[in-house]
Structure 1
Amino acid sequence: MTPEEQDLVMGLAFVPGVGRTRTLDEVLAHFGESDGGALALRLLRDAVERRDADDVEMALIVHGAADASVEEFMEPLIELFPAEWHREHEDIVSTLGKLRSPKTVPTLVLATHWVPEHLDWDENRALAVKAIWALGAIPVAEAREALEGLRDAENEIIRENAVKQLARRGDL
């Protein structure tokens, strides 16, 4: 994606006090697409193929602006999550969490244990907390078992959030 195209897509991002500076229709017209979800998926696949972290972010912005189905994004996001070359791990976990799909459990469990290098500074473990809350919303035994396994985590934040999710689910 060119810098101009990135600027165009960034116009879809909501900025407090400013709003959005571009419409989805403008972005779709520029890329010759009529469906925001299809454009987002095309941009994501292209970004992954080229290992372009900035374009992964652009694809997720288009996806969010288009309010597109998360289902079609599930497999590419699951594959992308553990890659170190991008910075969208938290957004991926948030997007996968919206699915409440048993297929996302292994990726969400990984997110509770693994800290990407770019998030190493985060003592609050926001990535893990997002993953724990996503696990709490998935009504299958695998998610419950993952949360139960986190009750004994060394990290207090992880432990407390796992217990909160188990309680919320009625599994305590």
Structure 2
Amino acid sequence: MASHTNDTYGVLQKAVQQRDPDNFEEALSACFPMRNREGLCELLAEVLVADWHFRHEDVALAVQELKCACAVEALERRASSNPSYLEWDENHALARKCTWALADIGTDDAKQALERLSKSEILVVRGFAQKRIDNWLLETSRKGG
């Protein structure tokens, strides 16, 4: 099992290095069962702000599930800016996922990122961030930090 996990991570790393959206999509799906793999959170944070692929929502979900504290800055950046293929989404679903991920990470840095996002020029993003701040204490069982 461990070698399969290492192979999966290696395929994911290679897809990121090559900026190969198709292989990245396949490798990302395979990495969801991985937990606490050294370097995985850092790689996901890097890919979250990259614009060469089309799986940002899945990356944000993986970051949320893994509670990747190193991804706070990437989540904040991505919540503030949709990739070009999602510019049509006036509901900013990706930003919503990013604010949930920040809330579930639960660190002081994550809360500070939400506070900055609550002042966003994008009205819906402000609302998503403020809701996570308002519910911070009610959602402590979800938090990683």
Structure 2 unaligned segments of length 5 or more: list them: 139-145
Q: Percent identity?
A: 33
Structure 2 counterpart SS, 1:54: helix
Structure 2 counterpart SS, 1:169: coil
Q: Are 1:112 and 2:79 an aligned pair?
A: yes
Give the TM-score, by structure 2 length.
0.83
Structural mapping, 1:75-154, within 5 Å: 75-154=42-121
Q: CA RMSD in A?
A: 2.0
For the 8 Å contact 2:80–2:125, the answer to whether it is kept is: no
For the 8 Å contact 1:44–1:60, the answer to whether it is kept is: yes
Structure 1 counterpart SS, 2:51: coil
What amino acid is the match of 1:91?
Answer: D
Aligned residue pairs, count: 137
Q: Are 1:38 and 2:6 an aligned pair?
A: yes
Range 52-61 or range 75-84, more displaced: 75-84
Range 143-152 or range 109-118, more displaced: 143-152
Q: Are 1:63 and 2:31 an aligned pair?
A: yes
Q: Which has the higher contact order (CA 8 A, sep 6+)?
A: 2
Work out the CA distance in 1 between the residues paired with 2:132 and 2:125. Answer: 11
What amino acid is the match of 2:70?
Answer: K
Structure 1 unaligned segments of length 5 or more: list them: 1-32
